[in-house]
Amino acid sequence: MKQHSLTWAPVAALVALASGCADPSPVSLSGADDVATVKVSGAGQNLSVSHPGRFDLTVSGDGNTVRVPSGNVIRTLRVSGVHHGISVSSGASVQSIRLSGTGTTIHLPKDVHPTVSGSGVGNRILNHVEAEVPP
C-alpha cells in the first residue's frame, strides 16, 4: 500500500504542474479564514498587486517582478522559485515573510519589519523604500 502511494505521488505532482502551466492567468485569487490569497506564478510576469483589506501574497515561478502599492496590507508574503523582484511601497505593510528559493530581492519601506522565516540561497530583504515605488 505504501509503495502504491509513492507511485502516484510523482504522477500527481506532474498533473498539478501541467495544470498550473495551462492556466492563462498569472494571478489567481483564493483564500480561507476570511483572508484572501493573491497568487502570482509563471515566468517573467511584471505586475502591480492590490487587494482591498488584508491579504496573503504568494509569488512562485521564475523571474517575476511584483509591485505592491501604498495602502495595501499583506498578512503573509510567501515566495518560492528563483530570481523574483518584489517591491513594497511606502504606506503598505507586510506582517510576515516566508522565503525559499534562490536569488529573490524584496524591497520594503524603512518602517516595515516583518517576521521572516525560510530557507534558500542568495535571497535579500532590503528596508530602504522611502517613497512610492514607480510602476
The answer to the question of residue 20 being in a domain is no
Instruction: Write down the pLDDT at residue 32.
Output: 59
Q: pLDDT tens, position by position, for the chain (135 residues)? A: 444 433 333 333 333 333 333 334 555 566 557 789 999 999 999 999 999 999 999 999 999 999 999 999 999 999 999 999 999 999 999 999 999 999 999 999 999 999 999 988 999 999 986 655 444
What's the pTM? Answer: 0.74
The answer to the question of residue 50 being in a domain is yes
15, 27, 32, 117 from 37: Cα distances, Å: 22, 10, 8, 19
pLDDT for 31-48, tens place per residue? 557 789 999 999 999 999
The answer to the question of residue 67 being in a domain is yes
Instruction: State residue 22 phi and psi, 5-degree precision.
Output: -80, -15
The answer to the question of residue 3 being in a domain is no
Instruction: Write down the pLDDT at residue 31.
Output: 58
- Residues paired with 10 in a beta bridge: none
Rounded Cα distance between 69 and 14, Å, is 35
Helical ranges in the chain per DSSP H: 2-22
Domain count, the chain: 1
Residue range(s) defining the domain that contains residue 60: 26-129
Q: Would you state the torsion angle of the CA atoms of residues 131, 116, 66, 82, taken in this order, to the nearest 10 degrees?
A: 140
User: Which are the contacts of 101, defined by CB distance < 8 A and separation ≥ 6?
Assistant: 79, 80, 81, 82, 84, 120, 123
The answer to the question of residue 7 being in a domain is no
Q: Grid coordinates in use for 10? A: 510523482
The answer to the question of residue 94 being in a domain is yes
Instruction: Write down the pLDDT at residue 72.
Output: 98
The answer to the question of residue 63 being in a domain is yes
The answer to the question of residue 12 being in a domain is no
Return the number of other C-beta atoms located less than 10 Å from residue 135's C-beta: 8
Instruction: Write down the pLDDT at residue 34.
Output: 77
